[in-house]
Structure 1
Amino acid sequence: MSWDVGRPPRADGKNFLVTGGNAGIGYFVAEQLAGAGATVVLACRDPGKAEAARVAIRARLPGADVRQIRLDLADPASVEACAGALRLDGLDRLDAVVCNAGVLLDRPPRRETAAGHELMFATNHLGHFALVSHLAPLLAAAPASRVVTTGSFTAKSESLDLADPQSTRDYRPKRTYVRSKLAQMLFGFELDRRLRAVGASAVSVVAHPGGALDSLTPSRPPVRVRTAGERLRGLPAALLLQGKEAAAWPAVRAVLDPDVHGGELYGPRVFGFRGRPVLEPVRGDLADTTLAARLWDLTAGLTGLDPIPGFTRP
Structure 2
Amino acid sequence: MSSTPQSRPWDVHRLPSAEGSTFLITGGNAGIGYFAAEQLAATGAVVILGSRDRARADAAMASIRSRVPGARVRHLRLDLADLSSLKTAVAELDLTHLDAVVHNAGVALDDPPRRETEDGHELMFGTNHLGHFALTQWLAPLLSAAPAGRVVTVGSFAARSERLDLGDLQSTHDYRPKRTYGRSKLAQMCFGFELDRRLRAAGSTVLSVVAHPGGALDSLTPPRPPICETTPGERLRALPSALFVQGKDAGAWPIVRAVLDSQVRGGQLWGPAVFGLRGKPRHEPTPSHMSDPAVAADLWAASRDLVDADPHLGFR
Alpha-carbon contact 1:129-1:307 (below 8 Å) kept: no
**Which amino acid in structure 2 is aligned with residue 23 of structure 1?**
A
Which of 142, 162, 165 in structure 1 is aligned with 2:166?
A: 162
Which of 38, 57, 74 in structure 2 is aligned with 1:50?
A: 57
C-alpha separation in 1, matches of 2:75 and 2:36? 14
**Which amino acid in structure 2 is aligned with residue 3 of structure 1?**
W
What secondary structure is seen at the aligned counterpart in 1 of 2:315?
Answer: helix
**Which amino acid in structure 2 is aligned with residue 225 of structure 1?**
E
**CA distances 1:64-118 after superposition (whole Å, capped 9, x unpaired):** 100001111000122222101101xxx2110000000000011000001121110
User: What is residue 91 of structure 2 aligned with on the other side?
Assistant: 84
Which ranges of structure 2 fall in alignment gaps of 5 or more residues?
Answer: 1-7
Answer yes or no: is 1:109 the counterpart of 2:113: yes
What secondary structure is seen at the aligned counterpart in 1 of 2:314?
Answer: helix
Alpha-carbon contact 2:31-2:228 (below 8 Å) kept: no
C-alpha separation in 2, matches of 1:201 and 1:308? 15
Alpha-carbon contact 1:133-1:307 (below 8 Å) kept: no
What secondary structure is seen at the aligned counterpart in 1 of 2:213?
Answer: coil
What secondary structure is seen at the aligned counterpart in 2 of 1:130?
Answer: helix
User: What is residue 285 of structure 1 aligned with on the other side?
Assistant: 289
Which of 41, 54, 73 in structure 1 is aligned with 2:80?
A: 73
Matches for 1:196-207 after TM superposition, within 5 Å: 196-207=200-211
C-alpha separation in 2, matches of 1:224 and 1:266? 25
* Percent identical: 65
Alpha-carbon contact 1:98-1:150 (below 8 Å) kept: yes
**Which amino acid in structure 1 is aligned with residue 198 of structure 2?**
R
C-alpha separation in 1, matches of 2:154 and 2:173? 27
Answer yes or no: is 1:41 the counterpart of 2:48: yes
Change (3 A) 1:21 1:304: same
What secondary structure is seen at the aligned counterpart in 1 of 2:246?
Answer: coil
C-alpha separation in 1, matches of 2:253 and 2:128? 20
Q: CA deviation at 1:309?
A: 5.4
RMSD: 1.1
**Which amino acid in structure 1 is aligned with residue 248 of structure 2?**
K
C-alpha separation in 2, matches of 1:121 and 1:246? 26
Change (3 A) 1:295 1:45: same
User: What is residue 5 of structure 2 aligned with on the other side?
Assistant: none
Matches for 1:130-145 after TM superposition, within 5 Å: 130-145=134-149
What secondary structure is seen at the aligned counterpart in 2 of 1:224?
Answer: coil
Q: CA deviation at 1:233?
A: 1.2
**Which amino acid in structure 2 is aligned with residue 194 of structure 1?**
R
User: What is residue 213 of structure 2 aligned with on the other side?
Assistant: 209
**Which amino acid in structure 1 is aligned with residue 38 of structure 2?**
E
TM-score between both structures, scaled by the size of structure 1: 0.96
What secondary structure is seen at the aligned counterpart in 2 of 1:277?
Answer: strand
Which of 176, 194, 197 in structure 2 is aligned with 1:190?
A: 194
C-alpha separation in 1, matches of 2:312 and 2:225? 40
Which ranges of structure 1 fall in alignment gaps of 5 or more residues?
Answer: none
Q: CA deviation at 1:284?
A: 2.3
C-alpha separation in 2, matches of 1:48 and 1:302? 31
Q: CA deviation at 1:218?
A: 0.3
User: What is residue 4 of structure 2 aligned with on the other side?
Assistant: none
User: What is residue 24 of structure 2 aligned with on the other side?
Assistant: 17
User: What is residue 247 of structure 2 aligned with on the other side?
Assistant: 243
